[in-house]
Amino acid sequence: MAKSKYSENLIRLRCTICKRYNYYTRKNKKTVERKLELSKFCKWCKHHTSHKEAKK
């Protein structure tokens, strides 16, 4: 089976409050060198919190 080209750019986003992994997203590692930090809704905290990039 062929390897997906999107799996290499896949990252997990982790809630900074409850430390759970809620979202998966992609990023271009050649152009974006820093870790992503996005404001997303956490269904366990029931709030919009910041989510940081974590290891896959």
Sequence letter at residue 47: H
Q: Distance between CA 10 and CA 41 in Å, rounded? A: 19
DSSP assignment of 26-50: E--TTT--SPPEEEEEETTTTEEEE
Q: What CATH code would you report for 7-54?
A: 2.20.28.120
For the chain, domain boundaries: 7-54
What was the pLDDT predicted at 42?
Answer: 94
Low-confidence stretches of the chain (pLDDT < 50) are none
The conformation of residue 7, written as its DSSP 8-state character, comes to G
List residues bridging with 53 in a β-sheet: 13
Q: How far apart are CA 55 and CA 10, in angstroms?
A: 10
pLDDT at 3: 67
